[in-house]
Amino acid sequence: MPTNKNATIRYHALDQCFSNIGRNYYIEDLIEACNRAIYEFTGNREGIKRRQVFDDIKFMQSEQGWSIPLEHIKDGRRVYYRYAEKSFSIKNQPINETELTQLRETLLILNRFKGLPQFEWMEEMLIRMESSFNIKGNLKPYVGFEQNIYLKGLNFFSELFNSIQYKKVIQIQYKSFQQTIPTTINLSPYYLKQYNSRWFLFGYNIELRCLSNLALDRIISIKETDKDFVENEEIDFEEYFEDVIGVTVKEEQKPVSIILQISKKLWPYIETKPIHGSQKIKERTDEYVLIELSLQINYELVAMIFSLGEEVKVVVPDELIKIIKDKGESLLKNYI
């Protein structure tokens, strides 16, 4: 089965050629049509080989493809290709076995959201696919993701998801861990983000006139309001979290240079799973590796450093050294 890059583009280009009864398409013409289609869709001028087109035709004729009724018509010493049925096109055919397999695998990956109220349809979709297309075999997922379906507040996920999608201002009863009584927050919701198996909602706080970050597990209730939605015209959330670990962003704070000394024992883990995208090596010795990060100093960064234990040492900045040292001394007091 051809699974190489741009395969779908080639199949549809070939389908157009085979459907065109006004022209004879020889192998050279098919190659040209495929290359032209690839260039139009991707801008890639690198052409495909003759062998690739023959492999594509073989796949399209197979049961895994579309079982196309293709004629090979001799014209002297040459051969041109055309559908035996003038009305045939792969666009008119039901989903083929290969596409079905790929779709099922995609849905199984998306099944990582199982337990979130907005995505119950995926399990039903798998059942319908099995019935409609006679899928046999094990439909159990074979990729595991970290997902806590028992997390408090997940029952609000669907309502929050819809409020973001349809731009509805919501009134939230919220009680943080530090509060003794709940507060009422009117919010234009913008973004849901997961970190460390917990979900967080970001939106414009109408009373405070600023962006707020609310943990779903601290939400008590949600109610839709008729207030005017405040559009998000400035924040690109992909960039918003670029300089932090986790979800705590201090908008007035710029990222600082952080240098960590990683032990020889820990380094293979940090090398293969970088702490942050800004990570780069400053120095390497037989005993340790110095890495530099460009990050804001926040709660999640400190927690991450503590999780690495004695195998990591903060070299700079002094501010972070003091935070780690003070917390370390407080921790030690629990065991004295």
In a domain, 83, yes or no: yes
According to the model, what pLDDT value does residue 3 have? 43
In a shared domain, residues 181 and 123: no
Domain boundary among 186, 214, 240: 240
In a shared domain, residues 227 and 184: yes
In a shared domain, residues 226 and 175: yes
In a shared domain, residues 183 and 113: no
Mean pLDDT (the chain) is: 87
Full domain range(s) for residue 122: 97-133
When pLDDT is cut at 50, 70 and 90, the band that residue 323 belongs to is very high
In a domain, 23, yes or no: yes
> How many domains are contained in the chain?
4
In a domain, 149, yes or no: no
Which residues in 76-98 are b (16+ Cβ under 10 Å) and which e? eeeebbbbeeeebbbeeeeebeb
Share of the chain above pLDDT 70, in %: 85
In a domain, 309, yes or no: yes
In a domain, 247, yes or no: no
Determine contact, residues 160/188, Cβ cutoff 8 Å: no
Closest CA to 113 of 101, 98, 125, 102: 125
Q: What's the CA gap between 309 and 156, in Å, rounded?
A: 36
Q: Looking at the predicted structure, is the pLDDT value of residue 138 above 80?
A: no
- The pair of three-digit structure tokens given for residue 36, joined into one six-digit string: 């032209």
What is the CB neighbour count within 10 angstroms for residue 157? Answer: 20
Q: Kindly report the CA angle at 193 between 188 and 195, in degrees rounded to 5?
A: 145
User: Residue 170: which CATH number?
Assistant: 2.30.30
In a shared domain, residues 176 and 116: no
Q: pLDDT tens for residues 151-161?
A: 788 888 888 98
According to the model, what pLDDT value does residue 142 have? 62
User: Residue 45: which CATH number?
Assistant: 1.10.10.10
Domain boundary among 38, 59, 92: 92
According to the model, what pLDDT value does residue 91 have? 85
Q: pLDDT tens for residues 161-183?
A: 889 999 999 999 999 988 889 99
In a shared domain, residues 126 and 86: no
In a shared domain, residues 41 and 58: yes
In a shared domain, residues 85 and 29: yes
State mean pLDDT over 44-59. Answer: 89
Q: pLDDT tens for residues 19-46?
A: 998 899 999 999 999 999 998 888 888 8
Tell me phi and psi for residue 188, to 5 degrees.
-95, 105
Treating both helix axes as pointing N-terminal to C-terminal, what angle do 7-19 and 50-61 enclose, rounded to 10 degrees?
A: 80
In a domain, 56, yes or no: yes
In a shared domain, residues 32 and 104: no
When pLDDT is cut at 50, 70 and 90, the band that residue 135 belongs to is low
Higher per-residue pLDDT: 61 or 197: 61
In a shared domain, residues 287 and 307: yes
In a domain, 251, yes or no: no
In a shared domain, residues 23 and 43: yes
pTM reported for the whole predicted model = 0.64
Tell me phi and psi for residue 111, to 5 degrees.
-65, -5
Q: pLDDT tens for residues 97-130?
A: 677 777 777 766 666 665 555 566 666 666 565 5
User: Residue 281: which CATH number?
Assistant: 3.30.70
In a domain, 320, yes or no: yes
Reduced to 3 DSSP states, what percent helix, strand and coil does the chain have, rounded to the nearest 5?
40, 25, 40
In a shared domain, residues 127 and 170: no
